[in-house]
Amino acid sequence: MREVFVGVDLGGTNIKLGCFDGELNLISKTSIPSRVELGPVSIIERTGQNIEKMLSESGLSIKDICAFGIGSPGVMDIEAGVVIAAGNMQFENVALRQMLSDYLGKPGVLENDANVTCWGEHVLGAGKGVDEMILITLGTGIGGGIIKNGKLMHGSSNNDVEVGHIIIYPDGRMCNCGQRGCVEAYASANATASRAKEAVKSGAISSLKKVFEKTGDITCKDVYNHVAKGDNLAKEISEGTAKALALLCINLLHVVGPKRIVFYGGMNKAGPLLLDPVKKFFNEHIWRLKKEEVELCFATLGDDAGIIGTAALAIQALKNGKIKA
The bridge status of strand 82-86 relative to strand 91-94 is antiparallel
Is residue 140 within the footprint of a second copy (CB under 8 A)? no
Among 31, 159, 207, 225, binds a second copy (CB under 8 A): 159
Can you tell me whether residue 102 is helix, strand or coil?
helix
Among 86, 161, 245, 270, binds a second copy (CB under 8 A): 161
| Contact (CB, 8 A) for 253 and 126 | no
* Dist. CA 17–CA 127, nearest whole Å: 22
Rounded least distance, CB 176 to a second copy, Å: 9
Rounded least distance, CB 113 to a second copy, Å: 16
Is residue 169 within the footprint of a second copy (CB under 8 A)? yes
Taking contact as CB under 8 A, which single stretch among the options 33-41, 192-200, 247-255, 269-277 is the one that binds a second copy?
Answer: 247-255
Is residue 28 within the footprint of a second copy (CB under 8 A)? no
Query: What torsion, rounded to 10 degrees, do the Cα atoms 83, 98, 20, 319 define?
Result: 100
Residues of this chain, 60-119, that bind a second copy according to CB under 8 A: 75
Is residue 177 within the footprint of a second copy (CB under 8 A)? yes
Rounded least distance, CB 78 to a second copy, Å: 12
Is residue 150 within the footprint of a second copy (CB under 8 A)? no
Is residue 256 within the footprint of a second copy (CB under 8 A)? yes
Among 28, 31, 90, 179, binds a second copy (CB under 8 A): 179
Is residue 289 within the footprint of a second copy (CB under 8 A)? yes
Is residue 214 within the footprint of a second copy (CB under 8 A)? no
Rounded least distance, CB 256 to a second copy, Å: 7
Among 37, 105, 214, 290, binds a second copy (CB under 8 A): 290
H or E, element range at 126: none
Q: Is 203 exposed, middle or buried (0-12, 13-18, 19+ CB in 10 A)?
A: exposed
Taking contact as CB under 8 A, which single stretch among the options 21-29, 65-73, 152-160, 316-324 is the one that binds a second copy?
Answer: 152-160
- For 66, 72, 267, the CA distances from 276, given in Å and listed in that order, are 43, 31, 13
Rounded to 5 degrees, what angle do the CA atoms 74, 303, 174 make?
45
DSSP string covering 24-75: --EEEEEEEE--GGG-HHHHHHHHHHHHHHHHHTTT--GGGEEEEEEEE-SE
H or E, element range at 79: none
Taking contact as CB under 8 A, which single stretch among the options 2-10, 151-159, 267-275, 307-315 is the one that binds a second copy?
Answer: 151-159
| Contact (CB, 8 A) for 115 and 123 | no
Residues 6+ apart with CB under 8 A from 210: none
Rg value, the chain, Cα? 21
* Dist. CA 132–CA 37, nearest whole Å: 39
Query: What phi and psi, each to the nearest 5 degrees, are found at residue 144?
Result: 175, 170
Site string for a second copy, 267-286 (x = CB under 8 A): ------------------xx
Taking contact as CB under 8 A, which single stretch among the options 36-44, 213-221, 290-298, 309-317 is the one that binds a second copy?
Answer: 290-298
Is residue 128 within the footprint of a second copy (CB under 8 A)? no
Is residue 236 within the footprint of a second copy (CB under 8 A)? no
Among 146, 185, 211, 245, binds a second copy (CB under 8 A): 146
Interface contacts to a second copy, rule CB under 8 A:
75, 132, 146, 148, 153-157, 159, 161-163, 165-170, 175, 177-180, 243, 247, 250-252, 254-259, 285-290, 293-294
